Structure 1
Amino acid sequence: MTSAQPFDDFRNLFAHLPEGNVAQAGKVWSLFAKADKPQGSLGRIEDIAAWLARWTGRAPPQVLKPLVAIFAGNHGVAARGVSPRSMEATAQRVELCAAGGAAINQICVASDLGLKVFDLALHLPTADITVEPALDERGCAATMAFGMEAIAGGSDLFCIGDLGVANTTVAAALCAALFGGNGADWVGPGSGADAAMQARKADVVDRALALHGPHIKDPLEALRRVGGREFAAIAGAILAARMEKIPVLLDGFATSAAAAVLYAMDKTSLEHCMFSHISNEPGHARLLERLGARPLFDLGVGHGEAVGAGLAAGLVKTAAQISSGMAEAVR
């Protein structure tokens, strides 16, 4: 960061969001128009291929270096009894991914995807959002900058997911801050919360909104006050991908809530993104509706750890292959 206020550099980027290559997308539409098939018969597969061409600048599109990035953080609000899992479970999931035993590892093998998992100071949970801001501005900005570095090394399809005990509660608080409503409007079962626990989650969100209410009209302030480290890193990673014209696949509720911060700053900021799926968290469905997003599939997946984004990457790779490999119709 170089400016006087830590968030200023990020705010300035929104005035310089690059556009995708519309001409390359048009070339893909032309390929499908010439292919030996009925017009429009492949439905959204054609849309996916054109979107990929727009943001990679290649027509027909190719996916040569796909990467799954998982950002893991812990939250002080977990101590409020909002999750059936202990905070230690976040580190255990990170270790499982590192050992190759998680669901996302198998998806990466099946679809030939790279994988990086980022431990965001799991030993140091963010502050309890019902008592104080999750992060100070400098810490939030630094975490966003760290997320921006996740694209280093290059990628032409960036799949983003999250890990973090209690992060569906945090996602609900962030969505309520950005789009209105109360806790009951946004919370859900998460990793298995019963009715009593969901009521506690709603109460936690309402208390956080009451505490931070005067400040959370600004999306970046909402991010630092009622968000968390994985949310900040994901927001930074999505923004960096836009600046580098890298197409992005977004995972479930928490990842989508982090993306919503950018949307609240500029409604065009997620044009390089597709939402992989709709999870079984009711707040996710409501959020996707507010964003005007059409997820690629609905398989009842609520697992987290970028499983939905990884599955969607296989679909995107297939769309690219179809666009480049189909024979032209005989006219």
Structure 2
Amino acid sequence: MLPEWVYQECPDVSVIHRDAALARQAELTKPDGALGRLEHLAIELAGLQQTEQPRAQSAPIIVFAGDHGIVAQGVSAYPQEVTIAMMSNFASGGAAISILARELGLSLEIVDAGTLAEVPIEGVVTDKPRRSSRDFSQEAALEPAELALALDCGKRAVLRAATKEPDLLILGDMGIGNTTTSAAIAAALLGVSAEQVAGSGTGLDAAKRARKAHLIDGALARHGLTIAGTAPDRILCAVGGLEIAAITGAIIAAAQRRVPLLIDGFIVSVEALAAVRLNPSCRRFLLFSHQSAEQGHCLVLQALSAKPLFNLDLRLGEGTGAALALPILRLACALHNGMATFAQAKVPNRS
């Protein structure tokens, strides 16, 4: 059984603040709708944040890391040791998300939610119920109690970030094999074959990608996940991962605290879909940054009725796509808050 907090209703959008933001947009010195989706972003944030001055300055980044037993089946182009090595790289400032966090002036927390690391790594928060998930092609990846603890890990990370009173939250992932795990979860949640959602991940060729899809389909059949409407917690136990579950928990916990989330690429979007299936009320707090190069991302976005801000063929993960989208939100807020109205500028409005 999952923790009761997972199912608690998330707050509603403030209709008063959303409508006030909509009215302000109509008064700014520009043709109505001329700034396109930038206008809608500011309006949406105003309603979510319950404010007349929407903000996107403080946006802590939390990267969750975990290892995956399915790697034993040769589903990754990289060895499993990369997961632990990359955590050190994040902490020391050498990874892509580390650079982006530094350039954007954002805090960066790395959470070992389930890697094979035997001892804590300097600069990394260790919060895991076990070391690595199990090989889901042979057995269930997680026990129900382990899933519950991983969800709680995500909540604890959000509570730490909440002390900074963030305007938004960015979540990232790291874990060799987690594109395979995410593809399996997506296939089960969407009721489609793995061929439709399994991409090349860290760089598999066509033959190895096809083998990965075949492996996923076999595992879904083995666990009885080919029937539409399977409970999301059962899917997460059967073919999930520890950092996957932690991100799912973080999404729900942030939304419950009225903190909007800027969702990254394929992997975090799959976790967002799992979170919405567990707690539909968290959907209104999700903003989507980009469509990744992973072929299954489009289907996941469609299932979430999500329209991402851009497509740069990214497939790195780590939260990098969301970080790249943050300046767009910052500028949308600046335009909304700082532009003069027709009355203030004494510019004639249209009749």
**Does the alignment reach a TM-score above 0.5?**
yes
CA offsets 1:120-178 (integer angstroms, 9 cap, x no match)? 13112100011111111111011101101112223221011111111111111001111
1:9 to 4, 7, 21: 4
SS of residue in 1 equivalent to 2:219: helix
Distance of 1:32 and 1:117 partners within structure 2: 38
Runs (5+) with no aligned partner, structure 2? 117-130
- Tell me the equivalent position of 1:171: 182
- Tell me the equivalent position of 1:233: 246
Aligned residues: 324
CA offsets 1:167-197 (integer angstroms, 9 cap, x no match)? 1111110011111122212111111001121
Residues 1:109 and 2:122 are matched in the alignment:
no
1:82 to 51, 60, 75: 75
Letter in 2 for 1:296: L
Shift of 1:94: 1.5
- Tell me the equivalent position of 2:135: 128
Runs (5+) with no aligned partner, structure 1? none
Shift of 1:10: 4.4
Distance of 1:43 and 1:161 partners within structure 2: 28
Distance of 2:112 and 2:3 partners within structure 1: 26
1:262 to 269, 275, 282: 275
Please, what TM-score do these two structures have when normalized by structure 1?
0.94
Within a 5 Å distance, the mapping from 1:1-331 to structure 2 comes to 5=1, 7-10=2-5, 12-13=7-8, 16-123=9-116, 124-152=131-159, 153=163, 154-213=165-224, 217-329=230-342, 330-331=347-348
Distance of 2:7 and 2:63 partners within structure 1: 26
CA offsets 1:202-255 (integer angstroms, 9 cap, x no match)? 122112101111698001111121110111101110101111010101111111
Q: Is this contact kept in 2: 1:130–1:208, CA < 8 A?
A: yes
SS of residue in 1 equivalent to 2:296: helix
Q: Is this contact kept in 2: 1:81–1:200, CA < 8 A?
A: no
Distance of 1:52 and 1:236 partners within structure 2: 22
Q: Is this contact kept in 1: 2:66–2:112, CA < 8 A?
A: yes
Please, what TM-score do these two structures have when normalized by structure 2?
0.89
Letter in 1 for 2:314: V
Shift of 1:302: 1.0
CA offsets 1:2-57 (integer angstroms, 9 cap, x no match)? xxx3x1514542xx222121211222212211110010000110111111111211
Q: Is this contact kept in 1: 2:66–2:132, CA < 8 A?
A: yes
SS of residue in 1 equivalent to 2:114: coil
Distance of 2:103 and 2:7 partners within structure 1: 40
Distance of 2:154 and 2:6 partners within structure 1: 16
Cα distance change, pair 60–117 in 1 and its aligned pair in 2 (3 A): same
Letter in 2 for 1:178: L
Cα distance change, pair 185–156 in 1 and its aligned pair in 2 (3 A): same
Distance of 1:131 and 1:21 partners within structure 2: 47
Distance of 1:29 and 1:211 partners within structure 2: 51
SS of residue in 2 equivalent to 1:277: coil
Distance of 1:325 and 1:111 partners within structure 2: 21
CA offsets 1:254-279 (integer angstroms, 9 cap, x no match)? 11111111222354431100111000
SS of residue in 2 equivalent to 1:155: coil
Q: Is this contact kept in 2: 1:277–1:298, CA < 8 A?
A: yes
Distance of 1:19 and 1:238 partners within structure 2: 16
Identity of aligned residues (%): 36
